Amino acid sequence: MRFDAPLSEVARWVRPPMGRLEASGDGCVLVGTTSAPAMYAQDWLARMPFGFRVEGGPELRAAVAAVAARFTAAVES
């Protein structure tokens, strides 16, 4: 997962069970695994105040897409 914010800002939002943050360019990456991608997406990522990209893990990609679809439907007319 790649965040569009400096490691120092993102670090306040990441607890050790979520993974390990590493600086990368202008942002940072989170390295880790999860056995609960839906919980990870809706209970943690949806609350993050930073832009991010899921770069791997088909299960996490699907869980983030499901949360995004729910949020999009909530604002459609």
d(CA 15, CA 24): 19
Name beta bridge partners: 29: 2, 22
Q: What's the mean pLDDT when you consider all of the chain? A: 93
pTM: 0.86
pLDDT tens digits for range 21-38: 999 998 999 998 888 999
- Tell which wins on pLDDT, 20 or 77: 20
pLDDT of residue 33: 85
